Amino acid sequence: MKVALFVPCYVDQFYPQVAVAALQLLAKLGVRAEFPPRQTCCGQPMANSGCEQAAQPVYRHFVDVFQDYDYVVGPAGSCVYHVRRHFDTLDQTPAVVRVRRNTVELFDFITRVLGVDQIAGRFPYQVGLHLSCHGQRGLHLATASELTPVRDGQLRRLLSGLDGLTLTELDRNDECCGFGGTFCVSEAAISARMGQDRVADHLRHGTQVLTGGDMSCLLHLEGIVRRRKLPLRVLHAAEILNGTLP
């Protein structure tokens, strides 16, 4: 099985430790993932802004870089969703079809492809799980409150398997954090207010470590936590599952 690690552009530049954790976590599970260094970005920032046409060269570059892999694994539901869903604007060549099908979110890969639903480890903290909307409602990696009262999801299960970890019960289990790609600057005031409300929900219910599967949501929430100097650590779930302690 030939596996590529897809590292979103902003993770590569600003959160290298998340990609390191993803790589090491996969290695622990017996998967030696490669990082094709020519990779850049999935093109979502442009398409999200109404410039899908301008994003086409980026899409083609992505397909070119990853077409020879059995799986393209990314620690970011939103970017994975973009590739799977919105690369429909490319000519559907066999390479495009393959890359769209094989691009998989990290915890979906661990759970569904590797069949792993328990990772040994200890994390004696109260953890607040932030579900990324594209992972949850887009890729269906977790149940959604719009559809069912049942709370379940791959990441929720993996985290629950760690010793000492308790999950926070929130007032709003799956409300959007307000990042929204370029929304975070084009509608900065609303975006900030949404993020502040999300962080407050976690604080109100005792979250010590805020985590999730999508660094883009966490980048936004961490920015709020740091601005307000709040008593919360923000870690990507790959870091927690890889044994990083706050």
Partner 1 sequence: MSPPPDHAQRSELFLLDHERTTWHDETLWFVRQKRDRAAYATPEFQELRRLASDLKDHTLSRLAQYLEQFEAAALANGVHVHWAADAAEHNALVLGIVQRAGARRVVKSKSMLTEECHLNPHLLAHGVEVIDSDLGERIIQLRAEPPSHVVLPAIHLKKEDVGETFWQHLGTEKGLTDPQQLTEAARQHLREKFLAAEVAISGVNFAVAETGSVVVCTNEGNADLAIGLARVHIACMGLEKLVPRLADLAVFTRLLTRSATGQPITTYTSHFTRPQPGREMHVVIVDNGRSQQLGRPDFRASLKCIRCGACMNTCPVYRRSGGHSYDFTIPGPIGAILSPNIDMRKHASLPFASTLCGSCTDVCPVRIDIHSQLYKWRQVLGAAGLVPASKQYGMRLLSRVLARPALFRLGGAAARLGLRLVPHALSHAPGYNPWAIARELPAPPRQSFRQWYAHQSPPAHE
Taking the least distance from each CB to partner 1, the nearer of 165 and 232 is 232
CA nearest neighbour of 33 among 102, 83, 101, 79: 102
Taking the least distance from each CB to partner 1, the nearer of 165 and 202 is 202
Distances from the Cα of 166 to the Cαs of 124, 169, 177, in angstroms? 8, 9, 21
Binding mask 164-183 for partner 1 (x = CB under 8 A): --------x--xx-xxxxxx
Taking the least distance from each CB to partner 1, the nearer of 191 and 211 is 191
> Which listed range, 95-103, 109-117, 130-138, 237-245, lies at the site for partner 1 (CB under 8 A)?
130-138
Among 137, 156, 202, 236, binds partner 1 (CB under 8 A): 137
Taking the least distance from each CB to partner 1, the nearer of 93 and 186 is 186
Q: Does 192 bind partner 1 (CB under 8 A)?
A: yes
Identify the residue whose tokens are 């990082």. 35
Q: Does 47 bind partner 1 (CB under 8 A)?
A: yes
Among 9, 90, 95, 167, binds partner 1 (CB under 8 A): 9
* Site residues (CB under 8 A) for partner 1, limited to 88-127: none
Distances from the Cα of 120 to the Cαs of 69, 176, 243, in angstroms? 28, 30, 9
* Site residues (CB under 8 A) for partner 1, limited to 61-90: 61, 86
Q: Does 204 bind partner 1 (CB under 8 A)?
A: no
Q: What's the token pair of residue 96?
A: 């495009």
Q: What's the token pair of residue 232?
A: 């919360």
Among 30, 38, 91, 152, binds partner 1 (CB under 8 A): 38
Number of residues that bind partner 1 (CB under 8 A): 77
Residues forming a β-bridge with 128: 210
* Site residues (CB under 8 A) for partner 1, limited to 205-244: 219-220, 222-224, 226-227
Distance from C-alpha of 195 to C-alpha of 172, rounded to nearest angstrom: 13
Distances from the Cα of 50 to the Cαs of 45, 65, 190, in angstroms? 9, 24, 20
The dihedral sign for the CA sequence 184, 189, 194, 197 = positive
